[in-house]
Structure 1
Amino acid sequence: MKRVFVNEEWCLGCRLCEYNCAFANSGKKDMAKALKGKPMYPNIRVEGDDKINFAVSCRHCEDPLCVKACISGALHRKDGRVCIDKTKCVGCFSCIMVCPYGSLSVGENGTASKCELCLENSCGEPACVKGCPNRAIVYEER
């Protein structure tokens, strides 16, 4: 299964992956209108310091702890991906606490949020990959 991988040595820390992710998952057609003056809720996050930057994204684990910890059944596996049904999420954030990679976060409506590889919003490939100017983020099988 293809997954998002980050080559830390190439990451500039520009955060364009965050903007592209937030826009792709906003449901809007115009990025300026979608993100202007509103909090941004990307499903990928750039972390780092003066020496290294890297993007944190869901690893779509084979045996995901987040799915096991989900008390409402909102998290589930679908075609090898870990997906979330936000209508079932009760906001307990057990998934956030157990994820060993720190890839889940609180979303726009107070529910858990995570990367679903942009396959649900018909981008074809993850928006973070498309928008990375330095090709630090790749979508491939390893």
Structure 2
Amino acid sequence: MKRIYAIENWCIDCKRCEVACKAFHSSYRDAVKAYQLEDETAFERVRVEGGLMRSVAVNCRHCAHPKCVEGCISGAMRKDPVTGVVTSDPDKCVGCRTCVSMCPFGCVRVEPAGVKAIAIKCDLCGDGAGEPGEPRCVAACPNRALIYVESEGC
């Protein structure tokens, strides 16, 4: 399965990956509207941590045996048996944060969405924006600090 990996030394902390992800997941599919109109459905699933001297994009590894799925009490976290993509169903999520504590990479977080909190994580939003099927964050990275490659994963 293909996965996203970050090359820490190439990240310049521009956060274009975050902007592209939030825009893709907004109901507007537009970066300016996603930020200015405060779309409640728009959450970036990748985030840049660190600072100007050293930063890295943190995103889901879509593990072969995902701990977040194992720990999910509501069945909201699931791994697709065909594609291997780990997703979170906001309708099933109860906001308990067990998936957050179970992820060894810190890739899952809980965000307020309307009246409840839901688990948010990378869903490999590939739609052909760059290379065929390439996720938006990878396509948006000017330094190619994010790569989308075939890998056995964690």
Give the TM-score taking structure 1 as reference length.
0.91
Aligned to 2:56: 54
Cα deviation, residue 51, structure 1: 3.1
Q: CA offsets per residue over residues 101-123 of structure 1, 9 Å max, x none?
A: 0001123511001001004x775
Identical positions, percent: 44
Gaps of 5+ in 2: none
Aligned to 2:28: 28
Of the three residues 90, 94, 117, the one matched with 1:90 is 94
Contact 2:12 2:52 (8 Å CA) reproduced: no
Aligned to 1:125: 134
Of the three residues 98, 104, 111, the one matched with 1:107 is 111
Contact 1:41 1:108 (8 Å CA) reproduced: no
Contact 2:22 2:31 (8 Å CA) reproduced: no
4-13 or 32-41, larger mean C-alpha shift: 32-41
Give the TM-score taking structure 2 as reference length.
0.84
Gaps of 5+ in 1: none
User: Alpha carbon RMSD of aligned pairs, Å?
Assistant: 1.8
Cα deviation, residue 41, structure 1: 2.1
